[in-house]
Structure 1
Amino acid sequence: MITPAEPPASSGRPGRKLGPIAPTVGSAHRAWLDPMRQNYLASGLTLNDLSTRVRFAKSKLSELLRGVGLYPR
């Protein structure tokens, strides 16, 4: 399956680059996750910024944006 290319993170964004979507993610989940990731990357926010806003650990947010781990209720 070919995945759409994601825009590169801006060079001024600190921290580690967001990892790829897990290969086990289904097509319906990927259809929701791709636009979510693109909006996150376009926002210029870091995982630290996002963590402060939504009160989830950065590691959990990274898992959610990659489609791994368990989602909160």
Structure 2
Amino acid sequence: MHRDDNKLDAMLERVLRKMQASQQSGWLTIPEAAAYMKSTVWYVRRVCRQGKIPYGVVGNRFILN
């Protein structure tokens, strides 16, 4: 695995843990996930579209649960 792949996997793991921990509130927004990952909103949107992070769409907003 490349170094970038390891970084991506680590970031995705953090998001998934955060999503599981936030089950009481129910949902994470893209900006919340990006802040948690110390990443950009655009990056989170891209990995959602690639199917690496499960998400839903409400109107024109991505939400992660």
**Interval of TM-score (by shorter of Structure 1 and Structure 2):** 0.3 to 0.5
Normalising by structure 1, we get a TM-score of: 0.34
Normalising by structure 2, we get a TM-score of: 0.37
Q: Whose strand proportion is higher, 1 or 2? A: 2
Structure with greater Cα Rg: 1
